[in-house]
Chain A
Amino acid sequence: DQQVKQNSPSLSVQEGRISILNCDYTNSMFDYFLWYKKYPAEGPTFLISISSIKDKNEDGRFTVFLNKSAKHLSLHIVPSQPGDSAVYFCAASVGGSQGNLIFGKGTKLSVKP
Chain B
Amino acid sequence: DAGVIQSPRHEVTEMGQEVTLRCKPISGHDYLFWYRQTMMRGLELLIYFNNNVPIDDSGMPEDRFSAKMPNASFSTLKIQPSEPRDSAVYFCASTSDSMNTEAFFGQGTRLTVV
By the criterion CB–CB under 8 Å, are A44 and B91 in contact? yes
The tally of CB-CB contacts under 8 A between chains A and B is: 60
Measured CA separation A100–B58 after assembly (Å): 11
Stretch at the interface among A10-18, A58-66, A72-80, A103-111: A103-111
In the complex, what residue of chain A is closest to B48 when comparing beta carbons?
A99
B56 touches A49 (CB 8 A): no
Quick one: which of A34, A41, A46 contacts B104, CB cutoff 8 A?
Answer: A46
Chain B positions 43-62 with a Cβ under 8 Å from a chain A Cβ? 43-45, 48, 50, 55-56
Q: 11 A–B contact pairs at CB < 8 A?
A: A41-B108, A42-B107, A43-B91, A45-B105, A95-B99, A98-B48, A98-B102, A99-B48, A101-B103, A103-B42, A105-B42
A-B contact sample (17 more), CB < 8 A, given A45-B105, A46-B104, A103-B44: A34-B102, A36-B105, A43-B107, A44-B91, A44-B105, A46-B103, A89-B43, A95-B99, A98-B48, A98-B102, A99-B31, A99-B50, A99-B56, A101-B33, A103-B43, A103-B45, A105-B42
